[in-house]
Chains A and B, each alone.
Chain A
Amino acid sequence: MDFNFTEEQSMVRDTVASFLQDKYDFETRRKIVASDSGWRADYWKAFAEELGILGASFSEDLGGLGGGAIDNMIIMEEFGKALVIEPYLGTVVIGGGFMKHSGYAGAASVIEGIIGGSTTIAFAYAEPQSRYTWRDLKTTAKKDSSGYILNGHKAVVVGAPFASHLIVTARTGGAQRDTGGVSVFLVDKSLPGIVTRDYPTVDGGRASEVYFENVSIPADALIGGEGEGLPLVDKVIDEATAAVGAEAVGVLRKLHENTLDYAKQRKQFGTAIANFQVLQHRMVDMFINVEQAVSMTYMANIKIDEDAATRAKAISSMKVQIGRACKFVGQNAIQIHGGMGMTDELAIGHYFKRASIIEGLFGSVDHHLKRYESLSFDAAA
């Protein structure tokens, strides 16, 4: 039994933590969120060059530091604590994940771009009608002489305004909800026919509606086998969910810690409100939620490379725990802050907002409960 991190992993964590402490305090983040671009391209460069963290989860022969999911987990947790906006999830975890698992011919050079900071990726998978069923696709990619013609509409593509490339799911065959016929493409965002409507998101990020209007993409944009993309998509989304679980852990720790601090210092009725037993028990329950979320996140990240069914079950059980914790810890953090919790001024509300979005990201509690049920009951029957 060993839940300890390796020396390298501890170093990555300390490097990230100290950078964020110096350069990503809450006031700085507020400015980033309010700025025209909505992110710090120079920080991204620093992640690549100064900190070297963009390569932490790639193998050494690809130019990385030789880590994997646990490194992503460590980094995402620190990013959660600082509410980092920059597109690590889309670029490294998701973009990198597709490159690692697909056998894509151009993978090495794309990964080089990711590690070096020049390639940023957003994942265009959801559609207005799809909800959390990723195979429900109206977007099509039709073969033509030079490659494929892409048509469709992708919903709430997080990080798209900062992205140089999009990873797009589209139908090369089959009906709208078939398991077969799903293909995955790496698409240069500057291609003609790609229309985006960019907007802020409630948690301080940026996203786009992305429309493909007869976009001509080369044949080598296809990642993985034509029409065989769904298992790959499932795997990468599971990895992304595991990483988001780690981000949630960072957010949850801050929600809890800030609430404890506030309750100890806020006086009403001549005493710190932390002395009211009902609030103590609430903060104890928040603590239990956080600790359970941490355990589940470790579990899920450890099982990430097992067979698809084991992995899926681990991820879904984690996401149920994370989703519930986000709601319980988030709502109570606001409640215990009283009126101060409702202000835009304090960080607590911003952690709550991120927690609320994470609750539904890559599937709500209900979605993952159903997935868990079908994996653990239906399969046995």
Chain B
Amino acid sequence: MNLDFSPEDVAFRDEVRAFIAENYPAGLREKQEEGEEMAKEDFLAWHRVLANKGWVAPAWPEKFGGPGWTSVQRYIWSEETARADCVPILPFGINMVGPVIYTFATPEQKERFLPKTLSGDIWWCQGYSEPGAGSDLASLKTKAERFTGDDGKEYYLVNGQKTWTTLAQHADWIFCLVRTDPTAKIQEGISFLLIDMKSPGVTVRPIITLGGEHEVNEVWLENVKVPVENRIFEENKGWTCAKFLLAHERSGIAGVARSKRGIERIRAIASTEMSDDGENLLADPVFKRKVAELEIDLTALEYTELRTLAGEAAGKGPGPESSVLKIKGTEIQQRITELVLEAAGHYGAPYFRGFPNDGDNAHPIGPDFAHRSAPHYFNVRKTSIYGGSNEIQRNIIAKMVLGL
């Protein structure tokens, strides 16, 4: 057992740190510091910088455009980007559909989709969930019926409704699970289909969430014509791709590095905010105890993640153990938002879409960190619901790990 970084790893870390310092877009940093909402171009700006460097998809094999990093290097990368508060790279293309494509697609499909996914020219969204199919994903109803077009080519006619589609308002393409055989057992009649969002019959409607954000959408598919060549893997075998993708979705979800930053931020906030005793909050034994407990839980999670990484390096794919990372990771993320809201005291209550103190500096409204504390607390409730709810993760562990 040896958990020290090798000299090569340390050199790599320094290289990464320097690269971020020199190349992270200054405009983005400002927007983040001001707490502004990110536009599509903001997400893409950093994506493009990394794509040019060849670092945008740390986990991809080299032959498809990955940097060929070891798992330790990938770990260092996520630490360093979180440490520098870089905007996250959206997972839909890089962590989800990309691996499905390079694992299951034809050479033509790989050539068609992978380079543009890397470059950021295709913004993907995930069309899995439906109003009737949430935790029970396999019960999805969106239909895809085959027909021959006037041009003599084969198409699917797609009808149905997807929901909770994150950032679909910006997306160029959606990857969907559709039912191609309504007579088969529910997992066996599903196909994995890529649909151009500009296709006639695709409508996106916003869903506004608790914190007032427009982050998720309904996507309606009405008589959408999709060429058969946009199907990944075999017809009716989409569930194989779906499950493969979910395992990848979960493995990135622990968010250890970002939670570390979150706790650092709590320490910074608590060292200036006042406690009831008129000292700073970090001097308050109760608040301090909560931060300490959180840090200890996070350390445990970090070492559990490192063990998973070591297992992967030894050739074991992300298994059902990744559910442990999802459950603990999201619980810790949620507790961080609870503590920030607690630290805000009275100033957790004011609600602003923008930045309140620009208008009237003479009469400021509370400390800056407080403005997003409650909406953020509300928003982060989602992490124990999406990506397979934490109840579903526990079911998975019970069944797959404990054999119950």
Contacts and interface: CB of A to CB of B under 8 A. Distances in A.
Interface residues of B, number: 52
Interface of chain A: mostly helix, strand, loop or mixed: mixed
A28 interface: no
B348 A339 contact: no
B374 A342 contact: no
A278 interface: yes
Nearest to A197: B363
A338 B276 contact: no
On chain A, which size bracket covers the interface?
A: 35 or more
A159 to B, nearest CB: 12
A133 B278 contact: yes
Interface in B260-308: 274-278, 286-287
Contact of B276 (A155, A203, A349, A370): A370
A128 interface: yes
B199 interface: no
B385 A341 contact: yes
Interface stretch (B70-78, B95-103, B375-383): B375-383
Interface in A6-40: none
Contacts of A278: 391, 394
B335 to A, nearest CB: 11
A377 interface: no
A331 B207 CA distance: 20
Interface string A348-379: 01001100110010001011011000000000
A345 interface: yes
A245 to B, nearest CB: 18
Contacts of B386: 339
Contact of B209 (A133, A211, A344, A370): A344
Nearest to A366: B286
A356 B391 contact: no
Contacts of B274: 129-131
Nearest to B353: A200
B349 to A, nearest CB: 4
Given A195-B363, A356-B378, A133 B134 contact: no
B135 A131 contact: no
B375 A202 contact: yes
A177 interface: yes
A342 B209 contact: yes
Interface stretch (B232-240, B318-326, B339-347): B339-347
B216 to A, nearest CB: 8
B159 interface: no
Contacts of A211: 363
Contacts of A267: 132
A201 B208 contact: no
Interface in B134-162: 134-136, 139
Interface in A34-50: none
Contact of A209 (B208, B351, B363): B363
Contacts of B360: 197
Contact of A353 (B163, B286, B364, B378): B378
A133 B391 contact: no
A156 B347 contact: yes
Contacts of B338: 327
Given A131-B274, A155-B346, A197-B363, A268 B209 contact: no
A190 interface: no
Given A201-B351, A207-B350, A349-B210, A335 B363 contact: no
A202 B374 contact: yes
A267 to B, nearest CB: 8
A269 interface: yes
A360 B351 contact: no
Interface string A284-324: 00000000000000000000000000000000000000000
Contact of A155 (B212, B347, B385): B347
Interface of B: 129, 132, 134-136, 139, 163-164, 207-210, 212, 216, 274-278, 286-287, 338, 341-342, 345-352, 356, 360, 363-366, 374-375, 377-379, 381-382, 384-386, 389-391, 394
Closest 9 pairs (CB-CB, A-B)? A268-B136, A156-B346, A344-B208, A202-B374, A202-B351, A201-B349, A349-B210, A269-B136, A366-B286
Given A132-B345, A369-B286, 20 more contacts: A126-B346, A131-B346, A156-B366, A202-B348, A202-B350, A203-B349, A269-B136, A269-B139, A270-B136, A335-B391, A338-B134, A338-B135, A338-B389, A339-B163, A342-B385, A343-B209, A345-B208, A349-B210, A353-B374, A367-B276
15 contacts: A132-B345, A133-B276, A155-B366, A202-B349, A202-B374, A207-B349, A209-B364, A267-B132, A331-B381, A342-B210, A342-B216, A343-B208, A344-B208, A344-B209, A349-B378
